[in-house]
Amino acid sequence: MKTLILALLLSLPCADLLMAATLDRVRETGVLRLGFRDDAKPYSYRNANGQPAGYIVDLCREVTEQLGAAMGAAVRPQYVPVPSAARFEALRQGKIDILCDPASVTMERRTTVDFSIPTFLDGTSVLYRSDRPIQTFEELAGRRVGVLKGTTTADNLYNGMRLVKVEAKVTQVTDHHQGLDLLMADKIDAYFGDRAILASLLYEGGLPGLELGRRYFSYETYALGLPHGDDAFRLQVDRALAELYRSGKVRALLAKTFGTPPHDAMLDALIAIHSFPER
């Protein structure tokens, strides 16, 4: 019997074994490892002081605090920078406990990582040179286009062009700053990305000659990326998020990042729907 059990354990992926008891490790070490991005402002980035910042990073800080309260012990966040292309691999390899970035939930991704309840709604848009506006996939024909590698945005771009049967020269970049540099240098005509990130790049960067498209080319549901198969840990993260939504504290976090614009009906619905009661 022992031999059979050992064989079954050895047949599991090593990362699954390492992450099977995240709460136990956090309780022992007092550390929760939060993966964040350098280039995903306003959701996940480094601020002027070089510290992790952004709406989703703030959510993860709140989750850390509530996790410590539930354990009755101090838990501190340890911030681990992760590049966009390797962020899910960092989860699978057990290098981080939570992915704190604008991660879109897809069925394919759910085969290898888990997700919390939703954290935000956004979508794909396009930043383009003012003299070459782009509002539809059809207008991409023959254009030079940039997009972040390994993202749902890239998938949406290719699928959209395929559906309308147009071809463009697509350059995949490793971070948003590289894409913006290519656009400013007139090496691409347009850059696709999450609309809030593009807006942040445009309005805070003082970039003459660029405009943000009005259209959403897709809608994305964001959630915190979590270790695959660790249901106990996922429940605690969901419990913390639901409490933030229920209490209304999430509104202060949103205002900190986005100011106080008129309420967005879709975001209001997301918060209301996922304000699950504790009992």
- Is residue 224 one of the residues assigned to a domain? no
In a domain, 6, yes or no: no
* 112 shares a domain with 154: no
Q: What is the pLDDT of residue 262?
A: 54
Give me the pLDDT at residue 188, please. 96
What's the confidence (pLDDT) of residue 178? 94
- pLDDT tens, N- to C-terminus, the chain (279 residues): 445 444 444 444 444 444 448 999 999 999 999 999 998 999 999 999 999 999 999 999 999 999 999 999 999 999 999 999 899 999 999 999 999 999 999 999 999 999 999 999 998 999 999 999 999 999 999 999 999 998 999 999 999 999 999 999 999 999 998 999 999 999 999 999 999 899 888 887 677 889 999 889 989 999 999 999 999 999 999 999 999 999 999 999 999 998 875 567 888 999 999 999 999
Residues across the chain: 279
Q: Are residues 87 and 146 in the same domain?
A: no
Q: Any idea which residue has 């409490």 for tokens?
A: 243
pLDDT at position 136:
94
181 assigned to some structural domain: yes
Same domain, 189 and 255: no
pLDDT reported for residue 263: 61
pLDDT given at position 261: 57
Shared domain check, 176 and 103: no
Residue 267 resides in a domain: yes
What torsion, rounded to 10 degrees, do the Cα atoms 263, 265, 267, 268 define? 80
Number of domains into which the chain is organized: 2
State whether 85 and 147 are in the same domain. Answer: no
The last residue of one of the domains, among 219, 240, 259, is 219
**279 within domain boundaries:** no
Domain that holds residue 73: 13-121+230-273
Pairing of strands 44-46, 39-40: antiparallel
Strands 114-129 and 44-46, sheet pairing: unpaired
117 and 58 in a common domain: yes
Same domain for 129 and 117? no
Helix (H, G, I), strand (E, B) or coil at 278: coil
Domain for residue 5, yes or no?
A: no
> Which residues are paired to 259 by β-bridges?
none
Which CATH number is 138's domain given?
Answer: 3.40.190.10
Same domain, 149 and 114: no
For the chain, counts of helices (H) and of strands (E)? 11, 12
Do residues 95 and 155 both lie within one domain?
A: no
Do residue 87 and residue 28 come from a single domain? yes
225 in a domain, yes or no? no
CB atoms within 10 A of CB 180: 23
Alpha-carbon gap, residue 272 to 274, rounded angstroms: 6
- Residue 59 and residue 148 in one domain: no
Judge whether 278 lies within some domain. no
Last residue of a domain, one of 192, 219, 246: 219
Same-domain pairing of 116 and 133: no
How many angstroms separate the CA atoms of 20 and 174, rounded? 31
